[in-house]
Chain A
């Protein structure tokens, strides 16, 4: 079997395909007329992000992305859609009348960001070696960033209690 593509080229091709799918799905999330379809397009974007993590050798983050975003956050969104009785059929009433202005703002910010990134990091190359071992992430969390970890856990607890207090019927 002759080797047709080198490793770096294969990585480039995979990145390109996933990136195009993600871009199309992201545009679908913000333009679709059916709210459930928009949520399903968000699944595609989140799965694409997980795939990019794995391409960037961050396997643990890829798994966490699938578990938390696709597993938990998306289900929460679908519950939100159903509990607020959003119209499931195709309607045009999900957009307000500042679409053109919003598009201009988004294009402007994209232009500035693209220029800055190209200017600052245009020559930077990624040298992807071995996948990051999960033990390295664990060491970093529980040694260098243990205070941040504790703060995040308290914040998560407070947010969950707050959500229950807000949403309960009394």
Chain B
């Protein structure tokens, strides 16, 4: 089967993630959209790993999964901190650094 099918699927997931990051205003939903983008990258890595018969792509996909887990942990801690110090987690209301 052509490798472009997988690449197009991952491109679609990535762009859905971009839309989510730009259009959502709840912090948790933005983190979920980031997860969509990371998974799109992983599909790409695994597809090329199968295309080139090289296991390196899968190893890098594992690294991406580990880093995504770390990112979610820190990200949700930051969202909780924002929730505790301010009233909500709406990202467009966090404008302390706006000039």
A residues with CB within 8 A of B: 8, 11-12, 15, 19, 22-23, 26-27, 29-30, 35, 38-39, 42, 45-46, 49, 52-53, 56-58, 60-61, 64-65, 68-69, 72-73, 76-77, 79-81, 83-86, 93-96, 98-99, 101-103, 105-107, 109-110, 113-114, 117-118, 121-122, 124-126, 128, 132, 136-137, 140-141, 144-145, 148-149, 152, 155-156, 159-160, 162-164, 166-167, 169
**Which residues does chain A contribute within 8 Å of B3, judged by CB atoms?**
121, 124-126
| Cβ contact within 8 Å between B7 and A156 | no
Report B58 CB to chain A, min CB distance, Å: 5
**Interchain CB contact (< 8 A) of A110 among B15, B68, B80:** B15
| Cβ contact within 8 Å between A46 and B46 | no
- B72-92 vs A, CB cutoff 8 Å, 1 = contact: the mask equals 111011111101100011111
Closest 7 interchain pairs by CB?
A: A102-B22, A159-B70, A30-B20, A166-B77, A106-B19, A113-B11, A102-B23
Q: Which residue of B lies closest to A81 (CB)?
A: B28
New A-B pairs, 17, CB < 8 Å, besides A96-B92, A122-B4, A166-B77: A52-B46, A61-B42, A68-B65, A68-B69, A73-B72, A80-B79, A84-B27, A93-B90, A98-B22, A110-B12, A118-B4, A121-B3, A121-B7, A124-B4, A126-B3, A145-B56, A162-B77
| Cβ contact within 8 Å between A95 and B24 | yes
**Which residues does chain B contribute within 8 Å of A58, judged by CB atoms?**
46, 49-50, 58, 61
Bound CA span A58–B19, Å:
29
Chain A interface mostly: helix
Bound CA span A68–B91, Å:
27
If the complex has contacts A8-B1, A30-B19, A84-B89, are A73 and B58 also in contact, measured as CB distance less than 8 A? no
**Which residues does chain B contribute within 8 Å of A98, judged by CB atoms?**
22-23
**Interchain CB contact (< 8 A) of A163 among B5, B39, B76:** B76
B66 contacts partner chain A, Cβ-Cβ < 8 Å: yes
| Cβ contact within 8 Å between A56 and B12 | no
**Which residues does chain A contribute within 8 Å of B72, judged by CB atoms?**
73, 76-77
**Which residues does chain B contribute within 8 Å of A23, judged by CB atoms?**
9, 12-13, 16
| Cβ contact within 8 Å between B79 and A84 | yes
Report A108 CB to chain B, min CB distance, Å: 9
